[in-house]
Each structure stands twice: as structure tokens, then as C-alpha cells.
Amino acid sequence: MATSAPPLSPPAVHLRPLTPLDFLERSAYVFPEKAAVVDGDVRRTYPELRDRVYRLATVLQAMGVRDGERVAVLAPNASAILEAHFAVPLAGGILCALNIRLTVGEIDYILEHCGASVLIYDADFDEFVKELKPRARCIRVGAPGEEYEKLLAAADPTKLHKAEPDEDATLSINYTSGTTGRPKGVMYTYRGAFVNALAEIFHAGMRPESVYLWTLPMFHCNGWIFPYAVTAAGATHVCLRKVDPKKIFELIETEKVTHLCGAPTVWISLANDPSARPFPHRIHITTAGAPPSPTIIKQMEALGAEMTHVYGLTETYGPITVCQWKSPQWDGSSDGERARLKSRQGVAMLTMDARDVRVVDSNLNDVPADGKTHGEIVMRGNNVMKGYYADPEATAKAFAGGWFHSGDVAVMQSDGYIEIVDRAKDVIISGGENISTIQVEKVLVSHEAVLECAVVAMPDPKWGEVPKAYVTLKPGRELTAEALIAFAREHLPGFKTPKAIEFGPLPKTSTGKIQKFILREREWAGREKRVN
């Protein structure tokens, strides 16, 4: 399948390297009067965004950035990080958007590993940056008149040296959360981002009239490529420094937001907020990170949202599969059935070969499409990373046999849709039997008092491991562990029923994913942990 690209001798009139930078050029050309970015009180048109991008690229080149030099960004979802998504590659550099929830030690590690020569950081992180080892040259993004804005104002974009685009070059490096070791630097290419952006536009149904609110962090998988997809569509970016339900409901109304992305926890926080109220118009939500529960799908649909569930990893530019809704066949489904259908990970996205996402056994043979046999999800194609930066060993391991190994355990349903059973490292092995923590969690959240939960393995002298649940209740609700265990027992076999329940808030990543590894470590502290 994957062959070498054709040998082409320049100049070829019919070949243009695929680059997401062209999307900005086109929207600045076609939509000169349109709002490209809304960031608080600031509104900028596409030509204004393009001008700032050119200025920032010029500033970066003056600092020596070109030819694949890494530029790190530590910033919330505001103008600067969006600008960096275009300016860093325009200068010829590689973007490393940093997870703003990491510790000083973690960021130090990443900055050293990627070797960034420039760090663009938001003034919110002044104290944080002081604690970092001095390494990169810094640009501080502050108020008008401060460093970043002064540099942009002083830049002469006619000095910019535009690099020859190479579509297989590295566009960005996104570090994994590193739950099972040191963070790894996932490399995206220009070609991958271009093709993925077009697929995202299609699946989200984005149009030039769309308005996209940044509820998903841009540092996360380059915001699932939406910085490029939204720009390609000629739609409007509405920045949001942090997920604040009250603010989100306001912006949806005032800015006429039509599209949002995020993990289910974002929607849980929205739907259960005191400020929750029906949207004044239809909204399209792309959700990933965990399967949306029947409850949250129902709640969000009631507010006026259409939910599309997608699935992927940092290694796949974010989403690589979509739970493609089938109209009219599924339109008449009951609420429960809709939720069941929508909670599946689905099928390869538009720009993929359908057979390039598979569920396989350890010999890379497809598991039967019986909805029962467990296998690992593997992928390949333009939606898969180029590799881990400066880590040929990890790359070779991840690409064993010519496929990217997701580490996610799934079944193949009879209709060809993939359904994740669990992360390989989350599966509980109790007396030799596998337990899908996702299955147990689905039962628990179906209890009307439960807001969200996470099930992890707890050590057990007899069974080795048994399920334990961490549960957050809805505001004002009460429930005993005994009552919830009894409820679970009605829907699950004995060995899958949680043996212990602990109530309280759940640890989460910056993107709203529940951090099971923290809970697991708590359970296994001082003991020999399973190796995954």
C-alpha cells in the first residue's frame, strides 16, 4: 500500500505541495472583511490575521528560526497560539504547543527534548516560566504595547524568507501525556494536516458562515487540526482562555457559535451548570476522548446540539475515526439506542482508506466482526503521525509490522464499526477474566444520581485485581456506596461489579480526560504494579 511518492522534477505546473498554510492565504484573499478571530474585545479579519502571522514569522526568522528549528508555545486559547500555528511553519520552523497543565519538570523535559530555540509564552505563565531552566529565547505575550505586540508592530514582513514547502516535512511536534513513561514527541506533517483538515470540515459540516468556539485546547493535537480546518472553511475562530460554562453559553449567543469540540467532561460541565439553557440555534459538537454517555448525549441534544463522536490519539492528529450517523436508518432510534450507536468509535474518516483502520490480533490478522472478540486498533495512512521526534526506537515499536499500534482494545461490530472495550493498560484482569472498565462505567453513569465515574483495578489477594469505582455525584444528590454497588449488580455479572466505591472529584487532564493512571497509582501505591 504505502508507496513512495512519485519522482517529480520541478517546476511541475500541476503539483503544489499540500500545506495548511494555503488555507490562510485563501481565506485572507477570499474573505477580506470576515472576522477570522474574536479574542475578548479584539476582532480581527482574515487579512489582519494573515498580517500578524507574517509579522510573527518575520520576528522568528530574525531570531534564527528556519529549516526545522523548533518553536515552543505555552499559552491558553488566545490569539497568539492560533497565530503561531501558521507563523512557525511559515518561518520554516516546527511548532511545539505545550500542555499548559504540566509541571515545571515536565515542561523542562519537553523543552530539552525538542530543543526549542524560542519559547512564546502567555503572561499568565510569568511565574511558571521563571522556574524553567533558562534555555530558549522567550517572547512574552502580554497586553498591547508589551513585548509580543511590540515585536509584531516593529516587524517588516517584506523581509520574510518564505521557505519552499515540502509536504512531508514536519509541521509540528505534539508531546503525549506520558502516562506510561516520558512524553514522546509526535510529529505531524504538512500533508497530513492538510488532508485531515478537509476531513474535519466534512464531518463537522463546516461552512464559511460557521463560528467555532475554542473549547478544545489548541495545544492538544494542534486542536485536532481545527486551527487549519476552521481557517480553510473561512469560518470564525472564537478564542476561550478556559472552559467556563457561563462564558460558553454567553458566547454561543453573542457570537452565534455553531461548532464546538471537546471531551465529554466539557459537555457534562455545560449541561449541569446553573447557567445551562437551550442554544438559540443548532450547534454541532465534535466529541472525543471518551465515549459520550447516553445521559450527556440526551442532555446536549435537548439543548439543541448535534453530537458527532470521533476517536483518535495524539498519534493520529486527534480524530481518525468517526461514528458516522446513518440517516434515515437510525433517525427513528430510541434515546438509548441512539446513545449506544453514538458511543461507538466508528469508521475511518473521509480522507482515509476504510481498511486502514483495523482491529487485529497479535499477528495483525483482523478479529472477526462479531462484537465480542478483543483486538487492538491499528491504523496507517495520511492521518497517522510521521513518527516520534528523536526517538527511532519508540517509533519502530509503535509502527511494528507497518501499522501504528494504538494500544486501545476494541471489538469490531458486525456493521464494521469499531467499539473500544478499553485502553490496554486500563483492562482489569480479575481471576484471569478480562473486565472492560468502560463497560462498568457505562452502567454506573446510567444511575440518575451519578455525574461521572472512573473504574480502575484495585489489588485483591484472591483475584489479583478487582474493579473499584471513583464516582462524582450530581450536585445536591446523595447515594451510598452500597446502593450504587447494588444497582451495578443488577446490570453486571458479579466479577465485574465494583468491590469498592469512593466518592469525590476525578483527576483530569487539561483536555478533560479522566486520568485513571493517577487513581490506579493511588490503589497500587507501595505494591508491585502491573506492567503495561
Show contacts with a copy of itself in window 383-412 (CB under 8 A).
Answer: 384-387, 399, 402-404
Of 396, 400, 388, 415, the C-alpha closest to 362 is: 400
Task: Decide if residue 151 touches a copy of itself (CB under 8 A).
Answer: no
Task: Decide if residue 329 touches a copy of itself (CB under 8 A).
Answer: yes
Q: Rule CB under 8 A: choose which of 143, 181, 327, 362 binds a copy of itself.
A: 327
Q: Rule CB under 8 A: choose which of 161, 246, 326, 372 binds a copy of itself.
A: 326
249: Cα within 13 Å, side-chain hemisphere: 17
**From 8-16, 104-112, 237-245, 264-272, span contacting a copy of itself (CB under 8 A):** 8-16
Contact by Cβ (8 Å): 371, 414? yes
Contact by Cβ (8 Å): 173, 389? yes
Least Å from the CB of residue 525 to a copy of itself: 38
Task: Decide if residue 527 touches a copy of itself (CB under 8 A).
Answer: no
Least Å from the CB of residue 167 to a copy of itself: 7
- Start-end of H helices in 92-166: 104-114, 126-131, 147-154
**From 84-92, 120-128, 196-204, 483-491, span contacting a copy of itself (CB under 8 A):** 196-204
Task: Decide if residue 143 touches a copy of itself (CB under 8 A).
Answer: no
Q: Are strands 283-287 and 259-262 parallel, antiparallel or unpaired?
A: parallel
Least Å from the CB of residue 367 to a copy of itself: 16
Task: Closer to a copy of itself by CB, 210 or 497: give it.
Answer: 210
How many residues bind a copy of itself (CB under 8 A)? The answer is: 74
Task: Closer to a copy of itself by CB, 205 or 459: give it.
Answer: 205
Q: How far apart are the C-alpha atoms of 217 and 88, rounded to whole Å?
A: 18
Q: What share of the chain is helix, strand, coil (3-state, %, to 5)?
A: 35, 25, 40
**From 25-33, 99-107, 436-444, 494-502, span contacting a copy of itself (CB under 8 A):** 25-33
| C-alpha dihedral sign at 366, 372, 375, 376 | positive
- Start-end of H helices in 472-514: 481-491
Least Å from the CB of residue 404 to a copy of itself: 6
Task: Closer to a copy of itself by CB, 254 or 275: give it.
Answer: 254
Q: How far apart are the C-alpha atoms of 331 and 328, rounded to whole Å?
A: 5
**From 90-98, 235-243, 349-357, 492-500, span contacting a copy of itself (CB under 8 A):** 349-357
Least Å from the CB of residue 478 to a copy of itself: 45
Q: Rule CB under 8 A: choose which of 205, 304, 464, 507 binds a copy of itself.
A: 205
Q: Write the CA distances from 172 to 38, 85, 108, 186, 231, integer angstroms.
A: 24, 9, 18, 8, 17
526 dihedral zone (left: phi>0; alpha: psi -120 to 50; beta): left
Task: Closer to a copy of itself by CB, 112 or 166: give it.
Answer: 166
Task: Decide if residue 160 touches a copy of itself (CB under 8 A).
Answer: no
* Chain centre distance of CA 373: 27
Q: How far apart are the C-alpha atoms of 85 and 22, rounded to whole Å?
A: 13
Task: Closer to a copy of itself by CB, 13 or 531: give it.
Answer: 13
Task: Closer to a copy of itself by CB, 122 or 356: give it.
Answer: 356
Q: Rule CB under 8 A: choose which of 39, 356, 408, 441 binds a copy of itself.
A: 356
Long-range contacts, stretch 487-495, CB < 8 angstroms, 24+ apart: 487/443, 487/444, 487/447, 488/440, 488/443, 488/444, 491/443, 491/446, 492/439, 492/440, 492/443, 495/430, 495/431, 495/433, 495/435, 495/463, 495/466
Q: Rule CB under 8 A: choose which of 108, 117, 123, 202 binds a copy of itself.
A: 202
Task: Decide if residue 483 touches a copy of itself (CB under 8 A).
Answer: no
Task: Decide if residue 198 touches a copy of itself (CB under 8 A).
Answer: yes
Q: Rule CB under 8 A: choose which of 26, 247, 491, 499 binds a copy of itself.
A: 26
Residues from 226 through 265 that contact a copy of itself (CB under 8 A) = 232-234
Write the DSSP assignment of 174-198 as a string of letters. EE---TTSS--EEEEEHHHHHHHHH
Residues from 58 through 87 that contact a copy of itself (CB under 8 A) = none
Joined grid coordinates for residue 490:
443488577
Write the DSSP assignment of 3-28 as a string of letters. -PPPP-PSP-TT-----THHHHHHHH
Joined grid coordinates for residue 205:
459540516
Contact by Cβ (8 Å): 235, 34? no
Task: Closer to a copy of itself by CB, 174 or 472: give it.
Answer: 174
Q: Are strands 185-189 and 375-379 parallel, antiparallel or unpaired?
A: unpaired
Task: Decide if residue 493 touches a copy of itself (CB under 8 A).
Answer: no
Least Å from the CB of residue 81 to a copy of itself: 24
Residues from 414 through 453 that contact a copy of itself (CB under 8 A) = 415-416
Task: Decide if residue 280 touches a copy of itself (CB under 8 A).
Answer: no
Q: Rule CB under 8 A: choose which of 116, 348, 410, 421 binds a copy of itself.
A: 348
Q: How far apart are the C-alpha atoms of 31 and 47, rounded to whole Å?
A: 8
**From 143-151, 189-197, 247-255, 261-269, span contacting a copy of itself (CB under 8 A):** 189-197
12 dihedral zone (left: phi>0; alpha: psi -120 to 50; beta): beta
Least Å from the CB of residue 400 to a copy of itself: 10
Is the bond leading into 7 cis (omega within 30 degrees of zero)? no
Task: Decide if residue 486 touches a copy of itself (CB under 8 A).
Answer: no
